[in-house]
Amino acid sequence: MKKLSLILVFSLVLLVNTQFVQATGENTPEIKSESAVMIDAKTGDILYQKNSSEQMYPASITKIVTGILAIESGKLDDTVVVSSDAVRAEGTRVYLMEDEQVPLKKLVQGLLINSGNDAAVAIAEYMAGDVDSFADQMNAFAKKVGADNTHFVNPNGLFDEKHYTTAEDMAKITQYAMQNEEFREIVSTKELPWIGEGWETTLRNHHQLLWDYPGTIGVKNGYVDESKHTLVTAVSRDNLDVIIVTMKAPTSRAAYWDTMALGDYGFANFERQTLSAGTKIEALNGKTYPLKEDLTVTLPKGEEPIQEVSSDGELQLKDASGNKLLTHTLFKEKEKEKEASVTFDNDSAEKDATFMQSVVKTGIFLYSGLLLLLAFLVILRMRSQRQKHKKMRHVARSYVK
């Protein structure tokens, strides 16, 4: 009987714990990729992360950088002459021929749709003269977008110990690239006829979720032995745009399943919230300042952003865990300068008053001194006159005798 009672109690505890976990919304997906991140493509807010700042080898998702640099060069209509080094590139190719003349845009399409390593080298050589110089441009670009834990040595992602990035950095890079309409159009292309000197075919985009996961826009997959399977995906659905990066997945299937699981989790649990322009925010000085622009953050559904205003007028929006989502200046420097100017004017007035008091005191002192000097001179003159008169009387007496 005691054993039965213990079993019933233990079962009841398990049931309660299970219900508690479900009630608290512990539905974060378990993924097989060693590193991953999901961000809102508009706000940059992190919706999920797993080892997102850990250094990883990117493989062909490197080509996102190569592609956006070529597109932003403004030279897509230029003709590129393919070199022998480009033709000999290892791995996936679009089978370029030496001395073949190819428009730069076509090379970018072969790069991003079919993951052509030969196209990557041809782009790098045309853009910078050689691969090493182009890698310098890639690293400068990474710094520009805030990918500070990234270093590239080639344009295609073939393995090199010095060629690395993080899931978080790749999300930042992709967030930037996806703002370019030409880039978005190319990575969302499912199929493209390809007619070259060495290959005639229809390119099929290597990103399988363009067919299998509703709302997918692109972007790029990758694989080398050292990196395992890497995948960057942009998805737009239910008024939410997300970028999902998974790195070092054991299989291609795992990378895709992880991405879909994270996407489902994001769309089910998060929403954008906007503080509209004109909303009045009270600062620490007791004054209220209206927002001059919309402020948008992404939070779990039903959660309100926490507002904190610093002593220098900076508004911070945070989530329930205290993570900073956004910083905004409530009042501009001109207003600070105006307040400082008022203080300065008051100080100046006080200084001027003090100065005038000093001038008046000095004037009174000098005037008093002058009066004393005049009095002294008058006394001397009067004494001199008395002595003169006395002498004259003495002379007069001598003539009388």
Query: CB neighbours of 200 closer than 8 A, spacing ≥ 6?
Result: 194
Q: Report residue 201 as tokens.
A: 């075919």
Q: What is the DSSP string of 343-371?
A: HHHHHHHHHHHHHHHHHHHHHHHHHHHHH
Name the catalytic one among 33, 52, 63, 228: 63
Q: 130 with 198: CB under 8 angstroms?
A: no
Distance CA 88, CA 98 (A): 9
Q: Dmax of the chain from CA atoms?
A: 164
Amino acid at position 401, single letter: K
Q: 291 with 328: CB under 8 angstroms?
A: yes
Instruction: Say whether 228 is catalytic.
Output: no
Distance CA 246, CA 33 (A): 6
- Whole-angstrom CA distances from 208 to 55, 190, 212, 216, 240 are 26, 9, 6, 10, 21
Instruction: Say whether 334 is catalytic.
Output: no
Instruction: Say whether 358 is catalytic.
Output: no
For residue 231, the cross-strand partners are 221, 246
Name the catalytic one among 115, 220, 227, 248: 115
29-58 CB burial, b ≥16 within 10 A, e <16 = bebbbbbbbbbbbebbbbbbbbbbeeebbb
Would you state the torsion angle of the CA atoms of residues 10, 12, 15, 19, taken in this order, to the nearest 10 degrees? Answer: -130
Distance CA 348, CA 40 (A): 51
Q: Report residue 233 as tokens.
A: 């995906």
Q: 102 with 109: CB under 8 angstroms?
A: no
Provide the strand spans (E) within 78-170: 79-81, 101-103
Q: Specify the 3-state DSSP secondary structure of 264.
A: helix
Strands 200-204 and 191-195, sheet pairing: antiparallel
H or E, element range at 34 = none
Exposed (0-12), middle (13-18) or buried (19+): which is 73, by Cβ within 10 Å?
Answer: middle
Name the catalytic one among 33, 35, 52, 60: 60
Catalytic sites, residue numbers: 60, 63, 115
